[in-house]
Amino acid sequence: MTKPDLAATQPSQFDVLVIGGGAAGLYAALSIPSRWRIGLVTKDTLSVSASDWAQGGIAAAIGADDAVSLHVADTLVAGAGLCDLQAVEHLASQAARCIERLVDLGVAFDRTDGQLAMTLEAAHSRRRVLHAADTTGRAIVSILAEAVLQQPNITVFEQAFALDLWLADGACRGVLVAHRQRLGWLSAQATVLATGGGGQVYAQTTNPAASTGDGVAMAWRAGAQLRDLEFVQFHPTSLAQPGAPPFLISEAVRGEGAHLVDRRGDRFAFDYHPDGELAPRDVVSRAIFHHLQKTGDRQVWLDLRPIPRDRIQYRFPNILQVCRHWGCDPLTELVPVAPAAHYWMGGITTDLHSQTSIPGLYAVGENASTGVHGANRLASNSLLECLVYGAELAHLPLQSEAHLPAALSRPDAIALDGLPPADALWTTLQEQRQRLTQLMWEAAAISRHQSGLEDAIASLGQWRREWQQHPLQALHRLPTGTSYALPETLTWPLVRAWGELSNLHDIAWLILNSATFRTESRGGHFRQDYPHTSPDWQVHTLVEGDRWSKSPTLQP
C-alpha cells in the first residue's frame, strides 16, 4: 500500500477506483483480484465511517435453529413489500461465507463456549446477530483497514474528497478529487461508489459528520438512476442527554431486555404495537414521536436495569462509557433517548453485481439501492449487505490492455473570482448547513405532510439557485484530464465543507421531492395526510435527472 500526494506528476490511471473507506469500500477493494491496480479514495482516514460506528452487529442465519429462508422471510416483512426477492435471497445465502472470511481475517466476534455468540434484534425471528461487544462495526472495519494497508496493489488517498464523476462516451471513467492542495482527475476502468449514507442532511442523526450523501449526489449529477430516496430509517433510541450529541444506543440493548418507558414509567410502546420495544424500527420511532406529541415531553427513557449488570458490562461497554461521560449511568438510572436519522434505504439503483445504470460505475453499501432493504431495513442487515455486494466486485469485467483517458500533467487555470475570505466562507458554510438540516428535520423527518414538504421545496429551490452562483462552483468545471493547484487561502478542509454542503443541497432536494411523490405511508416513509399503505404504491420510486416515476408493481 502506498500513500500518495495528488500532484501534477502523480500517475493517475487505475484499473479500479473505490470511493469510500468504510466496510463496503474496504471489502470491495479486498475482493478485487490483486492483479489489478486499485485507488481507494476516502475523505477521512480508513477507520472513520458509519460502519465503524455500527454497534449492534451483523446478521447471518448460521445457528442450528435458523435457516436462510427464515432470514429472507424476516427481511421481506421488515421491507414492507418493496424488497426485491432475488436480492434478499442472494444476501442471506451468502452470509455464512462472508462471516467465515471475516473470521479468517481475524475479526474477533464474541463467543459462548467456543461458538460464535448470537443475539436477538428487533423483527428477527431467531438469534442471528453476531457481535463484538457493542462495537461490531469498529471491529470489522479495523481488520479490513489493516488488510487493505498491507496490499501493494492498493493506493490509498486519505483525506481526499471526490467532487464529480468523469464521464466519457457514455461511461464512467474516473473521478475528480481534491487532495491536500490539489484538484485533479483520476481515471479507471471501473469506479465503485461506497461513500455511505446521508444522515447529515438532518439536524438530528446518529451518523458521523462524513455521511453527507456524496455518492448519491455525484451519481445523480452524472445521470445515474436512483431509487426509493424517500425511505429514511430513524433510529428510535439515540442519547438525548442535554449537551450530548445524538449517540446511537443499539436496539441490541432492547433485544437483551431493556424497557422503553415514559416519564410515568409506562412501557408505552405496547400501546402502538404488540411487539412493544421490539417492533420494527420505524414503528418504534413513530411510537416515540407520537407519544412525545401527546405528552409534551422532549424525550423518553431506556431502562437497562432489567438486564443483569454483568451482562450489560460484557455486551455494552462502549454504551456504558459514553453515557457515563455525559453524566448518565445506565446501571443505576434511566437513559434519556429520542429518535434520530440513522439509515437511508434508498440510493443508486444497482443489480445483483453492484452495477449501476451507467457503464463502468458501481455502488456498494448504504449509497446503493440493491433492493435488499425495501421500505425499511431489517436490523444488522446493513453490514452484511456491504460484504455480500462488495464481494461481487471480484467479477469486474476488466481488460488487461484497457485504453483509459489520461490525466494531463499541465495545470489548468480556474477563475475563482469573488471568493470571500476564509473566515467568512467558513461562517457562511456552517450557517447554511445548519439552516438546511433544520429544514429537513422539520419537513421530512419521522412524520411528513404535503404542505410542509411543498414549503421546504420552495425554500430549498431558492437556496439552490443562489448556491449555483457561488464562486467555488468553478471547481466543478475543471476540464477533464487536467489538474489544478488550489490557492493557499482555499484549504482542503474548506473545499470539503463546500463540497459536502453542495451534496447535502442535492440529496435534500431528492428526498423532499421523493417524499412528495409517494402519496402513502410505508416503512420509513410516513405521511400524516396519507397515513395508510396503498397497494397502488407497491412500487419503487425511480429518479432520473429531474423526472420521478414508478417502477412496475412488485410481487406481494
Active-site annotation, residues: 281
Is residue 163 classed as helix, strand or coil in its secondary structure? strand
Task: Single out the residue of 506, 520, 505, 507 nearest to residue 550, CA to CA.
Answer: 520
Place of cell 439552490: 464
Is residue 405 classed as helix, strand or coil in its secondary structure? coil
C-alpha cell of residue 231 = 425511505
Residue 12 CA to residue 409 CA, distance in Å, equals: 10
Type of residue found at 51? S
Report phi then psi at 344, rounded to 5.
Answer: -105, 110
The neighbouring-strand residues paired with 40 are: 18, 156
Residue 195 CA to residue 186 CA, distance in Å, equals: 17
- 80-102 as b/e, with b when 16 or more CB fall inside 10 Å? bbbbbeebbbbbbebbeebbeeb
Report phi then psi at 513, rounded to 5.
Answer: -70, -35
Residue 242 CA to residue 158 CA, distance in Å, equals: 34
Is residue 292 classed as helix, strand or coil in its secondary structure? helix
Task: Report CA-CA distances (Å) from 305 to 103, 254, 301, 329.
Answer: 33, 11, 12, 11
Alpha helices, DSSP H only, in 156-262?
Answer: 214-222, 252-255
